Structure 1
Amino acid sequence: MTAWIARERLELERQATLKRLASLTGSFDAVVAASRHTNADDEHDPEGATIAFERAQVGVLVQQAEQHLQEIDIAIERLHAGTYGTCERCRGPIGERRLAARPVARTCITCAA
């Protein structure tokens, strides 16, 4: 895979993750705002547990998107350093199909297993 193709893949992945993060952040803010207008007593409010669950669920999705963004940035750093596509464990090549499916992969499929 050429560096140009890898860079394009990573940049597309980064843009998609930023869009997802913006959407999730908006959803999280909406859930938090909705909870301000409800009874804070989750134990006695049948809607309280639902709002708390939604807030927790969206919060986890935001954390996952932020972590994926960090992984993309690390992959871009590896690309600039000339180590992108090289397994961090065995130093062998990471297969094209693996990088196509998971552009942030740090290990070959054998080492990942």
Structure 2
Amino acid sequence: MSDTSGAEAALAADRAESLQRREDLRRQFARTVEASRDTNADDEHDPEGATIAYERSQLSALIDQVGRRLVALDAALDRVREGTYVVCEVCGGPIAPERLEARPFARTCIACAVSHPG
């Protein structure tokens, strides 16, 4: 098995950035909700663009997306600590370093990702 100390550091940095991103999005969501309380705008019929409900929905989806990334990063960090980070969970073969560089929380090799999506 290859040295994964660099991977662990990169995953930890990605996790810290993702936590910060989620916190920023949560603050933005709270500001959007607060701003909608302070106005009597009819956002459903506003011809000026996106509705407040749409903005809240977008922010909520982004927060959920970051949450899923954090779960994936935590699982990848667990695999690093268990010594299985570079091992495909489907076939048991190696996961190419290039794949892990592009997708650091990948759980499968490319061949298994193609033949077993999801």
Question: Fold match, TM over 0.5?
Answer: yes
Counterparts of 1:47-62 in structure 2 under 5 Å? Answer: 50-62=51-63
Once the two structures are overlaid, the 10-residue window that deviates more, 40-49 or 10-19, is 40-49
* Cα shift readout 1:38-60 (whole Å, capped 9, x = no counterpart): 23754455579611100000000
Query: Which amino acid letter does the alignment assign opposite residue 111 of structure 1?
Result: C
For the Cα contact (< 8 Å) 1:39–1:45, is it kept in 2?
A: no
Report sequence identity in percent: 50
Q: Is 1:32 aligned with 2:1?
A: no
Counterparts of 1:53-72 in structure 2 under 5 Å? Answer: 53-72=54-73
Structure 2: gaps spanning 5 or more residues: none
Q: Is 1:95 aligned with 2:96?
A: yes
Structure 1: gaps spanning 5 or more residues: none
**RMSD of equivalent CA atoms:** 1.8
Q: How high is the TM-score relative to the length of structure 1? A: 0.89
For the Cα contact (< 8 Å) 2:88–2:108, is it kept in 1?
A: yes
Distance 2:77 2:14 in 1: 11
Aligned partner of 2:10 in structure 1 is 9
* Cα shift readout 1:13-55 (whole Å, capped 9, x = no counterpart): 1111112111111111111111111237544555796111000
Aligned partner of 1:21 in structure 2 is 22
Q: How high is the TM-score relative to the length of structure 2? A: 0.86
For the Cα contact (< 8 Å) 1:25–1:62, is it kept in 2?
A: yes
For the Cα contact (< 8 Å) 1:39–1:48, is it kept in 2?
A: no
Q: How many residues align?
A: 113
* Cα shift readout 1:61-91 (whole Å, capped 9, x = no counterpart): 0000011001111111111111111111111
Query: Which amino acid letter does the alignment assign opposite residue 96 of structure 1?
Result: P
